[in-house]
């Protein structure tokens, strides 16, 4: 069942202070959401974003949350239920990127745990706080998880990031199937898998064969529209879909040769990221 608008819905977005999260929040405000709940670890940026959005809508609620801490997630979720009520639309947007080194060159092992905690575990814990009420309800509900094309193919110099996004994709799409099996057709799960986006998180990463760095506004518009439709998995752009197909049918050596030739395997060579 398609959701035409989030008007009257309660929307929660993680990583909402900047980048894609801020754009998702702006879209929810434009459509007339009953409440827009913003989660982010960056309190200063969160306040600034909330101030901008409040000028257009008074229904903005902010919570400073470190989603790598599952106890913090549980506490913030309880506050949301008390302050706002049950959530109708959840956008698992928050994420971090580490790259430009081979795995054995990893200096800070905390980077491994934090990447997995934010990119893979946090969407599970956050969703577990709000999905039961969605299931128990009768109105249209949505869960949108921002994964990555790195969860579709193998990519050197970002092995831990790729692992976290493979996990996010596997979990998210499995939950979609579970909801269908259990007959909860009013709740739709969408997993969005884009390539590199011009938010600053992928500073220094390079596009590859017919695949430039994606425009963040186009990314958000696409993800939001497909979420409302209830599209299961969205892969952007078309070259990522092609790479996924070829990775599944080509022998291993030919797959590696192809992805190396088109530039996928060297796209993180000069990665710097956002400090």
Ranges 43-57, 63-77, 98-112: which has the least confidence:
98-112
What's the CATH code of the domain at 30? 3.40.50.720
Choose the most confident range, by mean pLDDT, from 127-131, 212-216, 253-257. Answer: 127-131
Average pLDDT (176-202) is 92
Is the model more confident about 182 or about 203? Answer: 182
Angle 214-218-222 from CA coordinates, rounded to 5°: 115
Structure tokens given for 178: 């579970």
Residue-number span of the structural domain to which 171 is assigned: 10-266
The answer as to whether 272 is a domain residue is no
Is the model more confident about 30 or about 240? Answer: 30
Nearest to 237, CA basis, from 221, 257, 213: 213
pLDDT tens digits for range 130-164: 999 999 999 999 999 999 988 888 888 889 999 99
The answer as to whether 143 is a domain residue is yes
The answer as to whether 177 is a domain residue is yes
Q: Is 273 left (phi over 0), alpha (psi -120 to 50) or beta?
A: left
Cα–Cα distance between 205 and 226 in angstroms, integer? 26
The answer as to whether 275 is a domain residue is no
The answer as to whether 33 is a domain residue is yes
- Into how many domains does the chain fold? 1
The answer as to whether 273 is a domain residue is no
The one-character DSSP state at 215 is: P
Q: What is the pLDDT at residue 1?
A: 66
The answer as to whether 98 is a domain residue is yes
Task: Report residue 77: phi and psi, to 5°.
Answer: -65, -40
The answer as to whether 2 is a domain residue is no
Cα–Cα distance between 272 and 6 in angstroms, integer? 36
Its pTM stands at 0.92
The one-character DSSP state at 154 is: -
Question: Can 161 be counted among the known catalytic residues?
Answer: yes
Task: Report residue 166: phi and psi, to 5°.
Answer: -60, -40
Identify the active-site residue in 63, 125, 161, 196.
161
Q: Which helix (H) or strand (E) holds 190?
A: strand 187-194
pLDDT tier at 14, thresholds 50, 70, 90: very high
Q: Is residue 2 over pLDDT 70?
A: yes
What is the Rg, in whole angstroms, of the alpha carbon atoms belonging to the chain? 18
């Amino acid at each position: 069942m398609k959701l035409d608008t989030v008007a009257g819905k309660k929307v929660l977005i993680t990583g909402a202070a900047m980048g894609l999260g801020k754009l998702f929040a702006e879209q929810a405000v434009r459509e007339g959401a009953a409440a827009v709940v913003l989660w982010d670890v960056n309190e200063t940026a969160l306040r600034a974003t909330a101030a901008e959005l409040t000028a257009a809508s008074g229904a903005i609620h902010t919570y400073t949350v470190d989603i790598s801490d599952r106890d913090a997630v549980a506490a913030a979720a309880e506050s949301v239920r008390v302050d706002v009520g049950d959530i109708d639309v959840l956008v698992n947007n928050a994420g971090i990127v580490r790259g430009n080194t081979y795995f054995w060159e990893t200096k800070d092992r905390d980077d491994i745990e934090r990447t997995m905690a934010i990119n893979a575990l946090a969407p599970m814990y956050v969703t577990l706080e709000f999905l039961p009420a969605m299931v128990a309800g009768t109105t249209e509900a949505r869960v949108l998880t921002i994964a990555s094309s790195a969860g579709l193919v193998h990519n050197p110099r970002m092995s831990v990031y790729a692992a976290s996004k493979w996990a996010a994709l596997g979990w998210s799409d499995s939950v979609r199937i579970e909801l269908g099996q259990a007959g909860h057709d009013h709740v739709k799960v969408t997993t969005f898998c884009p390539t590199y986006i011009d938010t600053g998180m992928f500073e220094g990463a390079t596009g590859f064969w017919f695949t430039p760095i994606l425009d963040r506004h186009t990314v958000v518009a696409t993800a939001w529209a497909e979420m409302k439709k209830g599209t299961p998995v969205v892969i952007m752009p078309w070259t990522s879909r092609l790479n996924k197909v070829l990775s599944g049918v080509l022998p291993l050596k030919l797959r590696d040769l192809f992805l190396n030739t088109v530039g996928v395997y060297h796209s993180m060579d000069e990665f710097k990221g956002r400090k």
